[in-house]
Amino acid sequence: MTQDTRIARLEQVSKRYGAITALERIDLDIHRGELLALLGPNGAGKSTSIGLLLGLMSADEGHVSLFGRDPHDIEAHRRIGVMLQSANLPATLKVAELVRLTASYYPAPRSVAECAALAGIDDLLARRYEALSGGQQRRVQFAMAMIGRPELLFLDEPTVGMDLPARQALWAAVRRLVGEGCAVVLTTHYLEEAEALADRVCVIARGAVVSEGTVDALRARIATSRVRCVTTVGAEIAWRWPGVVSAVRKDDHLEIATTEPEATVRRLLDADVALAGLEVQRASLAEAFVDITRDDVAHIHQEAA
Ligand SMILES: Nc1ncnc2c1ncn2[C@@H]1O[C@H](COP(=O)(O)OP(=O)(O)OP(=O)(O)O)[C@@H](O)[C@H]1O
């Protein structure tokens, strides 16, 4: 018998806010040790899904569980860490005090020093929280979310407001936590963030899961690759080759979309011995996301019109 690795679940869950249906019979499993990226357009139901798993609200229908328990259960809460989009923290406390206070809630927390090093906040410990920049506050919130050695960490748009080095440092820290066996649920609108970190991606739109799989599986839904090079070969010639979906000349570059990149590259090299600057790119997760959610985004815009 295979071991059940599911540590958090939404089963056929519906959630309504008055007349608005935020989630409609959604199923979502989070497995031990995985990094699950929860993606979707604005208003898709990501925060509501997380809110239900955290016990911040109750489902109208269906079943929600956290470590096999009710999500309000204090024992379940001691096994999770949370970084939400907004955090109401006592602003006048120093960062070290905030981190220590959070640690006291957990049975076997990291030391403040270890946590500060991992979150990159050593130089902020003596500062008052309210005096920090937005990006610095996010780093402190991350430290507070992981000081308890959670088995499951919820990160809701964790890198909003962070500069590139801070973002990359957080990615490295998240990778380390996952390497130690911590499961992570990440919501983000930065698709390169999901691409860099996720084992599995779940795309939610209009309250339901519309696509689920590895980053590679989602990218593979887009069959075309881009081939770009400096060449004298004309677009009208490339159009005739098998697999070529489009060919466009931009200054001295030829840009080809093709379902058979290897065959296209072979043709190009045969046709032009002086060809230079060859680039071949598979579809990105961002392109796959646009494709998967195209109908839903169009629907949202129609409703707004
Ligand atoms: N407190 C609330 N009262 C009424 N409607 C709400 C409330 N919270 C969320 N909604 C609605 O429920 C739907 C799902 O919202 P939710 O915040 O879960 O989406 P999201 O995917 O997290 O969006 P975003 O990417 O914008 O954060 C939206 O239509 C939203 O307007």
Total-model pTM: 0.83
Mean pLDDT of the chain: 90
Tell me the mean pLDDT in the region 9-26. 96
Q: What does DSSP say about strands 200-205 and 208-213: parallel, antiparallel, or unpaired? A: antiparallel
The atom number, within ligand 1, closest to the CA of 204 reads 21
CATH fit for domain 223-281, picks 3.30.70.100, 3.30.1360.70, 3.40.980.10, 3.30.70.2740: 3.30.70.100
Cα–Cα dist 240/246, whole Å: 10
Cα–Cα dist 183/32, whole Å: 6
Regarding an ipTM greater than 0.85, the answer is yes
pLDDT tens-digit profile of 32-78? 999 999 999 899 999 999 999 999 999 999 999 999 999 999 999 99
Tell me the mean pLDDT in the region 243-269. 93
CA of 270 to the centre of ligand 1 (A): 54
Coil vs helix vs strand at 129? helix
CA of 198 to the centre of ligand 1 (A): 23
CA of 55 to the centre of ligand 1 (A): 16
* pLDDT for residue 302: 47
Which DSSP helix (H) or strand (E) runs through 209? strand 208-213
Residue nearest atom 18 of ligand 1, based on CA coordinates: 45
Cα–Cα dist 295/193, whole Å: 23
Fold of 6-219: Rossmann fold (3.40.50)
With a 6 Å cutoff on the Cβ, whether 65 touches ligand 1 is no
Rg (CA), the chain: 23
User: Side chain identity at 121, as an amino acid letter?
Assistant: I
How many C-beta atoms surround the C-beta of residue 143 within 10 A?
Answer: 28
Cα–Cα dist 158/226, whole Å: 31
Domain with CATH 3.30.70.100 in the chain: 223-281
Domain with CATH 3.40.50.300 in the chain: 6-219
Mutation pick for ligand 1 pocket among 15, 20, 157, 203 (CB with most ligand atoms within 8 Å): 20
pLDDT tens-digit profile of 102-137? 999 999 999 999 999 999 999 999 999 999 998 999
